[in-house]
Structure 1
Amino acid sequence: MTEQELIYTLALQHVPKIGDITAKKLISHCGSGEAVFKEKKQNLLKIEGIGTIVINELFETNHLNAAEGELNFIKNNNISYWYFTDYLYPEKLKHCIDGPILLFYSGNINLRNQNIISVVGTRKITTQGISFCENLIETLTPYNPIIVSGFAYGTDITAQKGAVKNNLQTIGCLAHGLNQIYPKAHKKYVHDIEKNGGFMTDFWSSDVFDRNNFLKRNRIIAGLSEATVVIESAEKGGSLVTVEIANSYNREVFAVPGRTTDSQSVGCNNLIKHQKAHLLSNPLDVPYMLNWNLETDKKPSVQKKLFVKLDDFEKVIYNYLKENNKQQLDVIALNCNMPTFKVASLLLNMELKGVIRPLPGKQFEII
């Protein structure tokens, strides 16, 4: 994208009555952001959903002036950006109708061919929630996922610190421009996150910090990833908004259940009860449901590890598969006299130990 085209695209993004959906419609019709501003008003009025109020606002001169100011900020601070049609623009976000036309980022982010999940939840995370979150990140490390969150207090920073600890990429989606960090107490984490990951936003450096920004930011958290995991949530909260957005994008959602008496589990329990999220009791449920494969599965040959220690339940499954060759999950559960969900979890453990491998059609066999 040329500098001139970037200015016009920024100007289009600056128009308050034009959101990302309308902006994409205008760009699609005219060919580019610059072409939108150079198109005749009467032709723009022929576009469905574009009225005189929007057109009059579009041609206010302050938008181009503001765009030039933001361009200077981008250049002076080495800010990177993606245009929504760029090859490197986040693939999953491309499929979101309201994905940003311009997405700004800092750090060292590589989204190509990566497993990506968002981890969200209450800012008042409990010790149990912290423990589950840390265990989740550590357990998923062999799958090398990117951990996306909002860099806020509580669940967000717990997940992102866990990613850094396990040398995973992590992305903080901000509700403000890249000229500031909120909360200020988290400035100490910026270097480590940008070293292996970074920050994203569609807000400008000149945008006023507002709590409503968090709701707009949540669509990026939900849109970047293939699944959203809710660790803990009260009956109401921003993470539940992220879930609603993720559901609207037809993305998977997982929620960690808790006791009915725990205030920070009410939101998660309700999501599960109303079938808006999968119950997440074992971290390995995530790669199983998302059909992730370990890097070792991609090698030409996989050899069984010697002297692998199996628990009693895993031994039952192992012996059954040894006698009956490859079998489907439901068949294994039936013949081993175990619940399907338990067998699914055990099979994942055994896969990680290198003694079985998954096959198409939810079948498994001994390596």
Structure 2
Amino acid sequence: MNPQLRYQIALNYIEHIGPVRAKQLLSYFGSAEAIFKESTQSLAKLPSIGPERAAAIKKKEVLERADQEITFIEKKNIKTYFFTDASYPYRLKECADAPLMLYGSGNLHLDAGHFIAIVGTRKPTDRGKANTERLIKELGERMNNITIISGLAYGIDICAHRAALESGIPTIGIPAHGLDTIYPSTHRNTAAQMLERGGILTEFCTRTIPDAGNFVRRNRIIAGLSDAVIVVESKEKGGSLITANYANGYNRDVFAFPGRPEDKESAGCNQLIKRNIAALIENADDLIQYMNWDLITQSKKPIQTQLFEELTDMERRILEQLRSHSDGLHINELALSMQVPFSNISAELVTMEFKGLVRALPGSIYRAV
């Protein structure tokens, strides 16, 4: 077991220490363990901490609770993703308020392909459910390597998960509670099916009550994990609008299905479109064209083989290096390992990113697509 895990989990239990302040502490001390080993007096002197938060950090109950969580994690084979881990999803890491720790269950590939969030009202109309099912079916027919994300709640959420399963598309649920339960309980069977292709991901520890505040917090994860967020149906003050606004703040692309002026169930969607927060969408082709995503090709030659034949010698060498490092390489490491001037590598990477061959991650890290 990672010796830091106990302290990393414990950071989530400290009162009045949220993700942003915890990341500041990590940056200052270098590790989660070092934070807890520091004296109360030293912690209290830090500008963003003070005596009250310092005392909260040193409470013995914090580490005891972390030990209980580790027991559950080991028993249930839960995956953990700490903010500084290479396995932490890169999309979410870009967000300033990203969770410190994520807990996952299932067959999760958090950096793969295109992540599409589909959200909406808990009381959808028949048209809203039909639009959800049709959209996902079309996406499955037109694209490879997509994952559908939603919140496992009633309405559009569970409709999206079930439609993805029906189409053989991986789907990930983001609940407002820990992995020791499923809320609502009527969705347990669907959640179990999702573990085979996709899974469940949460920032919440066990024994967390799914209250209103936690639903808002989980909405930012749905938005941050996604390349695109689609609101199918929402009333004027629907909760899915929170997800849309988070996505807009994270510079994610937001889409909404339009409704007639008299349709109360679509009033929120219409407002998103009117305020230019969301682009109007009616089918999968609208999304694919807007996002400039590739369709499934009918060529008999493997796509990777075609790409490899069209690469320049330098592009081929760069890809060989990046593919041997699944977590990506810093641009300086890449230039050093290839013994090529930094300026040359930098120019090549810009071109390759434009071609869709590599992806730039925070911190000048590059990864092969």
What range is the shorter-chain TM-score in? 0.7 to 0.9
| C-alpha distance in 2 between matches for 1:196 and 1:34 | 35
Deviation at residue 39 of structure 1 after TM alignment:
2.1
Displacement of 1:301 after TM fit? 5.7
Check conservation: 1:233, 1:267, Cα contact below 8 A. yes
Instruction: Specify the alignment match of 1:129 in structure 2.
Output: 128
Q: 1:143 maps to what in 2?
A: 143
- Deviations along 1:342-364, one digit per CA (max 9) or x if unpaired, are xxxxxxxxxxxxxxxxx98xxxx
1:41: Cα distance to partner?
4.0
Q: 1:114 to 1:88 in 2, by over 3 A?
A: same
Corresponding letter in the other structure for 1:263: K
CA distance in 2, matches of 1:244, 1:52: 35
Structure 1 contact 115–143 (Cα < 8 Å) conserved:
no
**Normalization by structure 2: what TM-score?**
0.78
Q: How does 1:79-158 map to 2 (within 5 A)?
A: 79-141=78-140, 142-144=142-144, 145-158=146-159
User: What number of residue pairs does the alignment pair up?
Assistant: 303
* Pairwise CA RMSD: 1.9
2:124 aligned partner, one-letter code:
I
For 1:170 and 1:159, the matched residues in 2 are separated by 9
Question: Could you tell me which residue of structure 1 aligns to residue 32 of structure 2?
Answer: 33
Say whether residues 1:61 and 2:54 are aligned partners: no
User: For the Cα contact (< 8 Å) 1:13–1:19, is it kept in 2?
Assistant: yes
State the structure with more CA Rg. 1
| Cα separation, 2, equivalents of 1:151 and 1:191 | 12
Conservation of the 8 A alpha-carbon contact between 2:15 and 2:53: no
What is the TM-score with the length of structure 1 in the denominator?
A: 0.79
Match of 1:23 in 2: 22
Contact map agreement 2:40 2:58 (CA 8 A) in 1: no
Contact 2:151 2:157 in 1 (8 A): yes
User: Secondary structure of 1:284's match?
Assistant: helix
Identity among equivalent pairs (%)? 44
Q: Select between 280-289 and 197-206 the one with higher mean Cα deviation.
A: 280-289
Residue equivalent to 1:75 = 74
Give the deviation of 1:80 after TM superposition: 1.2
CA-to-partner distance for each residue in 1:182-227, whole Å, 9 max, x for gaps? 1111112122111101001111112233222111111111111011
CA displacement, residues 25-76 of structure 1 (integer Å, 9 cap, x when unaligned) = 1111111110111124454345442222211211111101111111111111
Residue in structure 2 matched with residue 350 of structure 1 by the alignment: none
Q: Does structure 2 conserve the Cα–Cα contact (< 8 Å) formed by 1:106 and 1:199? A: yes
Moved over 4 A (4+): 45-48, 299-302
Question: Which structure 2 residues correspond to residues 337-348 of structure 1 after superposition, within 5 A?
Answer: none
Q: CA separation in 1, counterparts of 2:296 and 2:232?
A: 26
Structure 2 stretches lacking a partner, 5+ long: 308-353, 356-369
- C-alpha separation in 1, matches of 2:171 and 2:54: 40
